[in-house]
Amino acid sequence: MQAFTLEFGRYRLDLGYKTCIMGILNATPDSFSDGGRFYTYDNAVKHGLKLAKDGAHILDIGGESSRPFAAPVSEQEELDRVIPVIKALAKHISIPISIDTVKSAVAKQALDAGASIINDISAFEKDPAMADLAAQRQTPVILMHMKGTPKTMQVNPDYDDLMMEITSYLASRADYAVKKGIRKEHIILDPGIGFGKTVEHNLVLINHLEKITDLGFPVLVGPSRKSFIQKILSGKEKIPVGPDHIRTEYGTLAAAAASIMKGAHIVRVHDVEKLTSFSRILDSIRNA
Long-range contacts of 10-18 (CB under 8 A, 24+ apart): 11/95, 11/96, 11/116, 13/57, 13/58, 13/96, 15/218, 15/265, 15/266, 16/265, 17/283, 17/287, 18/279, 18/283
Crossing angle of helices 199-207 and 162-179, in 10° steps, is 70
Residue 226 annotated in active site: yes
Pairwise CA distance, residues 15 & 7, whole Å:
11
Pairwise CA distance, residues 35 & 171, whole Å:
34
Residue among 108, 147, 173, 226 flagged as catalytic: 226
- The amino acid at 259: S
Pairwise CA distance, residues 54 & 72, whole Å:
31
Residue among 268, 274, 280, 286 flagged as catalytic: 268
* DSSP code for 186: G
Residue 236 annotated in active site: no
Catalytic residues: 226, 268
